[in-house]
Copies of this chain bind each other. A is one copy, B any other.
Amino acid sequence: MSARDINLSSRVTYLVCYDIANDKRLKKVFKLCKNYGNHLQYSIFECDLSPRERTRMEVELKSLIKSTEDQVLFVSLGPAEGRGDRVISALGKPYTHFDAPCYVV
């Protein structure tokens, strides 16, 4: 495995949070995010992404959103492996982390 392969296969966990001003675009963004990660809350997904997947997701999101009205935040939580369970904690309904999500390749 080359250094490039290692780099491309290393996944980072992101919270992907969106504010979308239009219902039609909101549905499309929700559908797109579902392909990349786990739905945590109303407008938040948790996605373990390789650099290539992150780039692809950004390109696809950019084609859906209106940049003057909508916002999508990518919040890096660090490497997907070995980050432990204490990064996210919940009050009220429990937080469920799926250890083996289906990756989009």
A83's nearest neighbour on chain B, judged by CB, is B76
Q: Would you call A44 an interface residue if the criterion is a C-beta within 8 Å of the partner chain's C-beta atoms?
A: yes
| Size range of the chain A interface in the assembly | 35 or more
The distance in angstroms between the C-alpha atoms of A92 and B26, with both chains bound, is 14
* Contact residue among B66, B71, B88, B95 (Cβ-Cβ distance under 8 Å from A41): B71
Q: Would you call A67 an interface residue if the criterion is a C-beta within 8 Å of the partner chain's C-beta atoms?
A: yes
Q: Is the CB of B89 within 8 A of A74?
A: yes
Known: A75-B87, A87-B75. A68 touches B93 (CB 8 A): yes
Question: How far apart are A13's CB and chain B's nearest CB, in angstroms?
Answer: 10
Q: Is the CB of B90 within 8 A of A71?
A: yes
Q: Is the CB of B93 within 8 A of A61?
A: no
Question: How far apart are A36's CB and chain B's nearest CB, in angstroms?
Answer: 14
Q: Would you call A42 an interface residue if the criterion is a C-beta within 8 Å of the partner chain's C-beta atoms?
A: yes
Using an 8 Å CB-CB cutoff, how does the interface string of A64-83 with B read, 1 for contact, 0 for none? 01111111111111000000
